[in-house]
Structure 1
Amino acid sequence: MNDSLLPSIGLARKAGKLILGFDAVSTACKNGTAALVLLSEDLSPKSRKEIVRIAQQYEIRWFDAPFQMGDIDRLLHKRAGILAVSDEGFVRMFLKHLPAHEKEDQTI
């Protein structure tokens, strides 16, 4: 788990720029409000495959993030394995905290 990424997620939530859960993130990808999608390490393969397909279809950057659903639950008091950020400023902050090998753009 990356200890620097989780506080950034908390800040994005407080700023109203964080979207949680499959349905909400899927909708945000489709309507163009999602700028980055993060997937937890313990996300089910089926959910991962479907949300990645949607992100790629709408050309949204996505990353496998170094956290688990329990980390998000402890931080935000809501269990979620799929998150999206709707602000480019937060996207830049998040990308600084992702492991170097994951900084490559994973859109199509």
Structure 2
Amino acid sequence: MNKIYSMIGIARKGGKISIGFDVTCLEVQKNKSKLVMIAVDASEKTKKNIQFVCDKYNCEYIEYGEKELLGQCLGKKMVSVLSINDENIVSYVLSNI
């Protein structure tokens, strides 16, 4: 498992991550989300919808990782969309991609 997945796992334990489409949308709307991460293998509809919300509320997003790997490091089966709500974790993730 690489550095980014490890960091996401740690951030989850620290309560700095929101998992799932609906929760992520709320975090973006409330301006709490610093970065939205979309799994590369998420459905096109999911990608399109989350990108629309991010663009509307001027929130940065990236496509990274696969649903199963993201799920694994977060203790779930599969995760298509997640929100990182901490500036330091975001800068770490972006500098290690």
Normalization by structure 2: what TM-score? Answer: 0.93
Corresponding position of 1:89: 88
Tell me, which stretches of 5 or more residues in structure 1 are unaligned?
A: 99-108
What residue is the counterpart of 1:77 in the other structure? 75
* RMSD of aligned residue pairs (Cα, Å): 1.2
Partner of 1:47: 46
Q: How many residues end up aligned between the 2 structures?
A: 96
- Give 1:96 shift: 1.3
CA apart distance, 1:77: 2.1
Does 2:84 correspond to 1:60?
Answer: no
What is the SS of the residue equivalent to 1:37?
strand
Determine the structure 2 residue equivalent to 1:103: none
* Aligned counterparts of 2:56 and 2:29: Cα–Cα separation in 1: 9
Q: What's the CA shift string for 1:43-89, capped at 9, x where partnerless?
A: 00000000000001101010011x11111222222121101111111
Shift of 1:11: 1.2
- What amino acid is aligned across from residue 26 of structure 2 in structure 1? T
* Unaligned residue ranges in structure 2 (runs of 5+): none
SS in 1 for 2:41: coil
Poorly superposed stretches of 4+, deviation over 2 Å: none
Q: Distance in 2 between matches of 1:55 and 1:3?
A: 26
Equivalent position of 2:34 in the other structure: 35
% identity of equivalent residues:
26
Q: d(CA) in 2 for partners of 1:20 and 1:84?
A: 6
State how far apart, in whole Å, the 1-side matches of 2:70 and 2:57 are: 25
